[in-house]
Amino acid sequence: MTRTKLTHTFAALGLATGIALSGTAQADYPEQDIRLIIPYGPGGATDIIFRLISQEAEQHLGESIVPVNMAGAGATLGSRNVKDASPDGYTLLGSHDTIALSKLAGTVDYSYDAFEPIALLTQTINIPTAHANHEVQSADEIADYVRENPGQVRFSMIPSSTDHFFWAQFFQEAGIDMADVRLVGYPDTGEQVSALMAEEIDFAMFNLPSGGSYFEEGTFRPLGIAHPERLESMPDVATLRELGIEMDHSTSRGIFAPKGTPQEVLDTIAEAYGQALENEEVSSRIENEFGSVVRFLAGEDYLEFLDENEAALSAAAENIDFQN
């Protein structure tokens, strides 16, 4: 994300909140440490990215942001803890699309609308991938390959997870009948990497954090970028839209608060995280170490993004047979 975009966003926040940002609420908040619940275990990309940005954001808040890993129940243990917390701005949630996915998969009865969305921070762009020996060279060739081999082409996925939705949306946009493909479930990304390496499957969905080193060494072939623009780190790989597949897809990480948290508190937190992303070392690490892009959206812009994201996921869910 560009610095100009961030500046415009802060200007919009200032117009939206007006005097509130300079009033009593801003002077009073925060007055103690803030807990940031991360609904995953430590060490993964989501955990590391939220810790990195929060460490910088707390410099602008004047109080510590304490990350708390609360894994379990498909990331719903942590989200439910925040949903039911006091709306005082001292308990926040750092999560991503899994909030909506859990609702669509039927594992919980709430989605984004159970929270006060604060700000989108980063996106990790997803990439359909084949093993290096596969005859398919780019994503626009997958549909023809499936038609030539009905019932024989194997796509890996983690059931009810991001890549499950990715393939459902991809099949729809590429004109592939799901009855002609074989979806093979794996428990985690590591198992999918091993399966593709062993050529047990034809295609998997990876991104730079999970597949970047394999792309560099030539073990895996990236078939397209599910993003409106090519990635700087992979300039020779076309976007799906360039290949005629009208589809974007990413893991979009943002900050949420319990329903009822005061607007001036939400604005104060959003401004601190936005300023954190202006730090060049932080943004450089996000892009170069974690293969993600900085994208800051707050207020109405973030609400609009979440609405569109959930609508796309809901459309994809119509083609998924969830096994709960």
- Tokens standing for residue 301: 């812009």
Report which of 114, 318, 143 is spatially closest to residue 245, judged by C-alpha positions: 143
Which single residue is written with the structure tokens 């275990």?
A: 41
Q: Nearest CA to 122 among 207, 8, 59?
A: 207
Q: Which amino acid is at 297?
A: L
Give me the pLDDT at residue 240, please.
97
Rg, C-alpha atoms of the chain: 20
CATH for 34-124+251-318? 3.40.190.150
Question: String of b and e for 230-239 (b: at least 16 CB within 10 Å)?
Answer: ebeebeebbb
Query: What is the spatial distance between Cα 72 and Cα 180, in angstroms, rounded to a whole number?
Result: 34
Residue 184: the pLDDT is 93
Contacts of 297 (CB under 8 A, 6+ apart): 9, 119, 120, 305
What is the CA angle 42-206-120, rounded to 5?
Answer: 60
Prediction pTM value: 0.78
Nearest to 103 by CA among 113, 94, 92: 113
State the burial class of residue 44 (Cβ atoms within 10 Å of its Cβ: 0-12, 13-18, 19+): middle
What does the pLDDT profile of the chain (324 residues) look like in tens digits?
Answer: 433 344 344 444 443 443 344 444 446 899 999 999 999 888 777 888 999 999 999 999 999 999 999 988 778 899 999 999 999 999 999 999 989 988 988 889 999 999 999 999 999 999 999 999 999 999 999 999 999 999 999 999 887 778 888 998 899 999 999 899 999 988 777 888 999 999 999 999 998 888 888 999 999 999 999 999 998 889 999 999 999 999 989 999 999 999 999 999 999 999 999 999 999 999 999 988 888 899 999 999 999 999 998 998 888 787 776 555
Paired tokens of 7: 């500046």
Residue 20: the pLDDT is 41
CA 244-246-247 angle, 5° bins: 125
Q: Which two tokens stand for residue 76?
A: 């719903």
Could you give the dihedral angle defined by the CA atoms of residues 238, 242, 290 and 307, in that order, rounded to the nearest 10 degrees?
-170
- Position 219 scores a pLDDT of 97
For residue 130, what are its two tokens? Answer: 């084949």
Q: Which helix (H) or strand (E) holds 183?
A: strand 181-185
User: Cβ distance 132 to 116 under 8 Å?
Assistant: no
Contacts of residue 283, defined as CB under 8 A and 6 or more positions apart, other chains included, come to 1, 277, 294
Architecture of domain 125-243 in CATH?
Answer: 3-Layer(aba) Sandwich (3.40)
Concatenated DSSP letters of 298-316: EHHHHHHHHHHHHHHHHHH
* Dihedral sign, Cα of residue 200, residue 206, residue 209, residue 213: positive
**Calpha distance 264→29 (Å, rounded):** 9
Give the domain ranges of the chain: 34-124+251-318, 125-243
DSSP 228: S
Domains 34-124+251-318 and 125-243 share a fold: yes
- How much is the pLDDT for 146? 97
Give which of 181, 165, 180 is closest to 249, Cα–Cα: 165
Q: Which H or E element spans position 236? A: none
